[in-house]
Amino acid sequence: MKSEPLPHSKKARSEIETTVRKEWGRILASLTKTLGDLQLAEDSLQDAVESALQHWGKNGLPNSPPAWLIQTARRKAIDRLRRVKNFSGKEKEITYLMELDALDAAKDHLETSASDIPDKRLEMIFTCCHPSIEEKSRIALTLRTIGGLTTQEIASAFLDKTEAMAARLTRAKKKIALAGIPYEIPKKEILADRLRSVLDVIYLIYNEGYSSSHRDELIRSELCDEALRLSALIASLMQNQTEAQGLHALILLHDSRRPSRLDDTGNFVSLEKQDRSKWNRENIKAGKVILEKVLTKGAIGPYQLQAAISACHAEAEAWFKTDWGQILALYDLLYALEPSPVIRLNQAYALSNHSSCEEALNWLHPLEGELNTYQPFHVAKADFLKRIGKFEEAKQSLLKAISLSTNHQEKQHLVKTLAQLGTH
């Protein structure tokens, strides 16, 4: 049976769009695996969504919206294939799709549950995050195909024009087709390397949400939420991969602080001054449970170590109770695995709080060249200089940080900090 018709209203359209977005990744991945063509799958699914907006608005949601969409999309694909110039070369694909459609009709697709649709999202994620695809395109393609974000929404996240983002996505899909990138989970011998690329893309999505480069918004909640969902998805689909579990734990723990990053007037609040009573305790508990379980497996990786660092912050009842010794030790392990200048900067910050600002400042000198255009480097340097009484030098570092800031709220916070230094 169908549900009651939805009234023609903004609320009805919103309900339909929410349903579509929730199921978009699963349906598109399944269609792509069937059709072997990402562009055809997306175009056909979009056609099906347009039909859904028309039919569901009149007749109500079907018992299984995913099954309705996937069968309708297959029929739309048949229509598209029939219209192409080389129709004769597509007869095999059309026959195959018609057979699938007949099978669906025989078992009444409206009674089919979402769980009956093969979940091919993991294969799709690995395809979108293939190393041969440029990093920005990997992120955009993952948000589009798995997250169901519109091209306009993705363009907004990157501060790009919609037309430019549409062209980027088209190039990426053509790259997949022309290079013959397979829609599959990589073989065991290359899985670890390819998985890291996938995890990095999800974490980049999260970071853009949590500390946005967008001028007017420090926090992009929709991107934070999408990264949380994607990390949960990859963790559930790859339960034996410790780093996939580590990333999900890290995002849960780190994101627990999101409610306290802005005050009631929308101003940025540093970790030191955050109201910890606002932290999401459910996320902290969930992240710690995952972390404690995965650390016992012995295959320690960078995301697990970052999650452990985030757990140290989450466990501290107040800033002055933070276990900086443990955090410093964890950064030492992380730097041994990945000796990058950014991790060295974080090591120095932990050292400054654990024992010595002077020594931490000395650690920054070799990083000056590599991190000269990295805003957090100059923020940290200004903080160290202020704490040892070198106020004029601290002001110069703050001015540099302000010039590199792309976010209005973050810049305003630094301007306020600079004004406070002026009193010394």
Q: Say what the pLDDT of residue 20 is.
A: 80
10 pLDDT band (50/70/90 cuts)? low
Q: Is 194 exposed, middle or buried (0-12, 13-18, 19+ CB in 10 A)?
A: middle
The answer on pLDDT for 11 being more than 80 is: no
DSSP string, 333-358: HHHHH---HHHHHHHHHHHHHHT-HH
Question: In 3D, which of 283, 276, 327 has the Cα closest to residue 305?
Answer: 327
Q: Say what the pLDDT of residue 344 is.
A: 96
Q: Say what the pLDDT of residue 285 is.
A: 97
**What b/e readout covers 125-152, taking b as 16+ CB neighbours within 10 angstroms?**
bbbbbbeebeeebbbbbbbbbbbbbebe
Taking residues 290-302, report their average pLDDT: 91
Q: Say what the pLDDT of residue 215 is.
A: 62
Q: Say what the pLDDT of residue 314 is.
A: 95
Contact assessment for residue 253 and residue 288, using Cβ atoms and an 8 Å cutoff: yes
Average pLDDT of every residue of the chain: 85
Taking residues 265-285, report their average pLDDT: 93
Q: What is the pLDDT of residues 321-349, one digit of tens each?
A: 999 999 999 999 999 999 999 999 999 99
Helix, strand, or coil here: 181? Answer: coil
Q: What is the pLDDT of residues 74-103, one digit of tens each?
A: 889 888 888 765 545 555 554 544 444 544
CA distances from 393 to 32, 373, 382, 389, 400 (A): 57, 17, 7, 9, 11
**Amino acid letter at 153?**
E
Sign of CA dihedral 181, 184, 190, 191: positive
Q: Name the residue with higher pLDDT: 17 or 31.
A: 31
The answer on pLDDT for 279 being more than 90 is: yes
Q: Name the residue with higher pLDDT: 17 or 30.
A: 30
- Residue 419: phi and psi, rounded to 5, are -65, -35
Least confident residue range of 103-117, 215-229, 272-286, 370-384: 103-117
Least confident residue range of 40-54, 271-285, 324-338: 40-54
| Maximum mean pLDDT: which of 54-58, 152-156, 222-226, 272-276 | 272-276
Q: Say what the pLDDT of residue 214 is.
A: 63
Distance separating alpha carbons of residues 315 and 326, to the nearest angstrom: 12
pTM assigned to the model: 0.77
Taking residues 376-392, report their average pLDDT: 94
Cα first-last separation, the chain: 74
Question: In 3D, which of 44, 34, 45, 10 has the Cα closest to residue 148?
Answer: 45
In angstroms and rounded to an integer, the radius of gyration of the C-alpha atoms of the chain is 25
